[in-house]
Structure 1
Amino acid sequence: MDHFQPGRINKIDFPSKILDRDVTLSIYLPKDFTELFKYKVIFCFDGLDFFSFGKIHRTYEKLWEANEIERAIFVGFHYEDVEKRRAEFHPRGIRTPLTVKAMANEILPYIDAQFPTYKVGNGRVVLGDSLAGSAALMTALSYPRIFSQAGLLSPQHDDVIQTLIERCQFQEQLTIWHTVGLEEDDFALPTTGKSADFLTPNRQLRTIIENSSITYHYTEFEGGHRWKSWKNLLDDLLKYFLSDNISF
């Protein structure tokens, strides 16, 4: 524990046997971190983006200083490159099941061993944007009693996700916060430049989740499929999962 500095983003290379590669993790401990208290854990797929573009740790510190949220630490899971991100995060990605398995069986136990965490499903939140949102949702649906809460920023949705929702045996244990932008009906994919519609599938996902036993909060925002839009939503996202006093 002693090599992790509070108030800083600590990068480590985590050796994953399941993924057969070193996973770069960014671990953020609050400025006033102490072993005397327990902490919730926020796992961020696309971790580098959540810290660099989303500044999620800055949002956390601001809300914490205002006494609006509970104590939490942040763990970012980095992707290696765009192609490997697709393989490890896409609902149909050839390695996505391994990503989900590694989170539950390797990365989570490591974090729980290193830090004073709650070690219960509702003490953990998985977050992700776009494809990383799919990975977060698939992690929660695959391990609903271990990762009971998921925050989704415009995730990729298809019938793989629908099947996982339908097969999930502990839907009532899950809480999902989900948002998509009204400008996301015509998004140019960074890998191919082709146009994609994220808005329609996300509305379909909304209908599926609303018809399940999952506790669910859904919003649509004015904006597009980019961090400039998502960054402004992290305030509400963190309050939703880290505050018992905020009503939605």
Structure 2
Amino acid sequence: MSEFQPGIVNKINFPSEILDRDITLSIYLPKDYTELFKHKVVFCFDGLDFFRYGRIHQTYERLRDEDKIERAIFVGFHYETVEKRREEFHPRGERTPQTVKALANEILPYVDKTFSTFKVGNGRLVFGDSLAGSVALMSVLCYPNVFSQVGMLSPQYDEVIDTLIDRCQFKEQLNIWHVVGLDEKDFELPTTGKRADFLTPNRQLNKIIESQDITYHYEEFEGGHRWKYWKNLLDDLLIYFLSENISFENS
């Protein structure tokens, strides 16, 4: 624990046997972190973007100062390159199953061993934007007893997600927060320059999730597929999952 300083973003290289590479993790302990209290854990795929563009740790501290949310630790999972991000985060990515396994079987045990955490599914949150939102949802659907809460900012959706929803055996344990922008009907992808429509498939995903026995919040916001808009939603996202009136089961 001594290598991690509260109140700053600590970067480490985490060796993953499953992905056969070092994963860059950013770990943020709140400024009032103490091992005397247990903390929820928020895993963020596209972690560098959540910290750098979303400033999620600053939003968290402001909401904590306002007594609106409870204690949490943030763990950001970085991608190496745009190409590898697609391989490791896309629903059809060649290495996406390994990414999900690495989170559940390597990163989570390390975090639970190193810090004072709630070791239950509803004490763990997985967040992601765009492709990172896809792998966040896949993680929860594959390991619903391990991670039961997911926040998705404009995720990429295809039939692979449908299959995982159908196969998920503990859907009633899940809590999903899902948003997409009204300007995402026809926009240019920043990574490839290609035109894309995320609004239509996200509306389809919305209908599928609504038909399931899942606790679910869905919203369409004014804006597009950029952190300029997603950043403004982080207050609502954190309050939804970290509001102090949320009680734990089996904690």
The answer to whether residue 243 in structure 2 is matched with residue 243 in structure 1 is yes
TM-score w.r.t. length of structure 1: 0.98
Q: Distance in 1 between matches of 2:43 and 2:244?
A: 20
> Could you report, residue by residue, the CA deviation over 1:56-107 in whole angstroms, capped at 9, with x for unpaired residues?
0000000000000000000000000100000000000000000000000000
2:73 is the alignment partner of 1:73:
yes
Matches for 1:196-235 after TM superposition, within 5 Å:
196-235=196-235
**In structure 1, what residue type is equivalent to 2:48?**
L
Q: Residue 161 of structure 1 aligns with which residue?
A: 161
Instruction: Report the identity percentage.
Output: 76
**2:103 equivalent in structure 1:** 103
What are the within-5 Å matches in structure 2 for residues 164-175 of structure 1? 164-175=164-175
Q: Could you report, residue by residue, the CA deviation over 1:200-247 in whole angstroms, capped at 9, with x for unpaired residues?
A: 00000000000011110000100000000000000000000001449x
Deviation by residue 1:104-140 (Cα, 9 ceiling, x = unmatched) = 0000000000000000000000000000000000000
Deviations 1:19-66 (A, max 9, x none): 000000000000111111000000000000000000000000000000
| Alpha-carbon distance between aligned partners in 2 of 1:148 and 1:85, rounded to the nearest angstrom | 24
Distance 2:110 2:35 in 1: 16
Q: The residue matched to 1:94 in structure 2 has which SS? A: coil
The answer as to whether partners of 2:68 and 2:244 remain within 8 angstroms in 1 is no
Q: Note the 1:18-167 alignment, pairs <5 A.
A: 18-167=18-167
The 2-side partners of 1:232 and 1:202 are apart by 19
* 1:193 corresponds to: 193
Separation of aligned partners in 2, 1:192 and 1:72: 35
* Structure 2, unpaired ranges of 5+: 247-251
C-alpha deviation, 1:193, in angstroms: 1.3
Q: What is the one-letter code of the residue matched to 1:218?
A: Y
Give the Cα–Cα distance (whole angstroms) in 1 for the partners of residues 141 and 18 of structure 2: 19
CA distance in 1, matches of 2:105, 2:60: 27
The CA distance in 2 between the partners of 1:208 and 1:104, in whole Å, is: 25
Amino acid at match of 1:185: K
Partner letter of residue 17 of structure 1? E
User: How many Å apart are 1:169 and its aligned residue?
Assistant: 0.4
SS at match of 1:25: strand
CA distance in 1, matches of 2:186, 2:146: 35
Q: Give, in whole Å, the separation in 2 of the partners of 1:144 and 1:71.
A: 22
State TM-score, norm by structure 2: 0.97
The unaligned stretches of length 5 or more in structure 1 are none
**Root mean square deviation of aligned Cα:** 0.8
> How many correspondences in the alignment?
246
Q: Return the alpha-carbon distance in structure 2 between the equivalents of residues 61 and 162 of structure 1.
A: 36
Given residue 95 of structure 2, which amino acid in structure 1 is its aligned partner? R
- Rounded to whole Å, the distance in 2 between the matches of 1:109 and 1:192 is 35
What's the offset of the Cα at 1:187? 1.8
- 3-state SS in 1 of match to 2:104: helix
Name 1:181's counterpart in structure 2: 181
Following TM superposition, where does structure 1 have runs of at least 4 consecutive aligned residues deviating by more than 3 angstroms? Answer: none
- 1:239 and 1:245 map into 2 onto residues whose CA distance is 10
CA distance in 1, matches of 2:185, 2:6: 41
SS in 2 for 1:136: helix
User: CA separation in 2, counterparts of 1:201 and 1:138?
Assistant: 16
Q: Partners of 1:120 and 1:245 in 2: how far apart?
A: 17
